[in-house]
Amino acid sequence: GAVVSQHPSRVICKSGTSVKIECRSLDFQATTMFWYRQFPKKSLMLMATSNEGSKATYEQGVEKDKFLINHASLTLSTLTVTSAHPEDSSFYICSARPGQDVLGLFFGSGTQLSVL
């Protein structure tokens, strides 16, 4: 149980274009999902908390207009990197938490974004 699916796994795009990343909880409902960014050999940096039916909560220093988050249903959250630039190139990971805190977070397989 507790499977989180993330697509695409890898995307290459031109500078100035927008990229959408999907995160789905396959076998549970997630009112809250989390988006992380990870640089090579570094820890996970929380970008934002995605709340179903309401606005996302962004961490300090994360541009809301650049990283658009939509959590339209209990099983789907999307992260759109708008007008991507090379400095946005990174590994993005989503996660979701089933109802019980003790179960921890379950992660998607991540998306490697490369902006040319």
- The contact set with another protein (CB under 8 A) reads 34, 38, 41-44, 46, 49, 91, 93, 95, 101-107, 109-110
> 30: closest CA among 79, 93, 94, 99?
99
Distances (CA, A) of 8 to 11, 55, 91, 101: 7, 23, 11, 28
Toward another protein, which CB reaches closer, 19 or 108? Answer: 108
* Shortest distance (Å) from residue 21 CB to another protein: 14
- Closest distance of CB 86 from another protein, Å: 20
Q: How far is the CB of 53 from another protein (least distance, A)?
A: 19
Residue closer to another protein (CB basis): 3 or 72: 3
Return the number of the residue (43 or 54) whose C-beta is nearest another protein.
43
| Ordered DSSP codes for 85-107 | -GGG-EEEEEEE--S-GGG--EE
Q: Which is nearer to another protein, 6 or 78 (CB)?
A: 6
Q: In whole angstroms, what is the distance from residue 112 CA to residue 116 CA?
A: 13
* Distance separating alpha carbons of residues 5 and 60, to the nearest angstrom: 27
Min dist CB 83 to another protein, Å, is: 26
